[in-house]
Structure formats: C-alpha cells, structure tokens
Amino acid sequence: MFNSVFRRVSLGVLLMLIGTMPALVANAEISWEKSLENGMKEAGKTGKPVMLDFYTDW
C-alpha cells in the first residue's frame, strides 16, 4: 500500500514540476518596439517573426 501511495505522490510532484517548467524558462521579458519601421528592421536583422498588437477604446 505504501508503495502505491508513494508512486502517486511522486507522479503528482513530477507533473507539477513539468507544468511549471515553461514559466521558469520563459522568465525573460519581451522588449516591445513602439515603431513599426524600427521593429521591421530589427526583425529583418535577427530573423525573428513580427507580432502586431492592435487595440482601441471604442
């Protein structure tokens, strides 16, 4: 019985650790560019994709 409980607890701890790993790895902050022209130039230099964020307060 102890062996079964120990395995379940161990599996639960392992799953929690695996679930939190992406958050720990992605701790770097995103550097947002306010100018489209500058952002496109930087993306061309680094080969990274561009994400445009639009919003309004209608």
More confident residue, 37 or 3: 37
pLDDT value at residue 44: 94
At position 53, the amino acid (one-letter code) is D
pLDDT value at residue 41: 94
Q: What is the pLDDT of residues 9-43, one digit of tens each?
A: 999 999 888 887 777 666 667 778 888 999 999 99
Residue 43 CB coordination number (10 Å): 14
pLDDT value at residue 24: 67
pTM of the model: 0.44
Residue spans of the domains in the chain: they are 2-46
| Phi then psi dihedrals of residue 11, to 5 deg | -65, -40
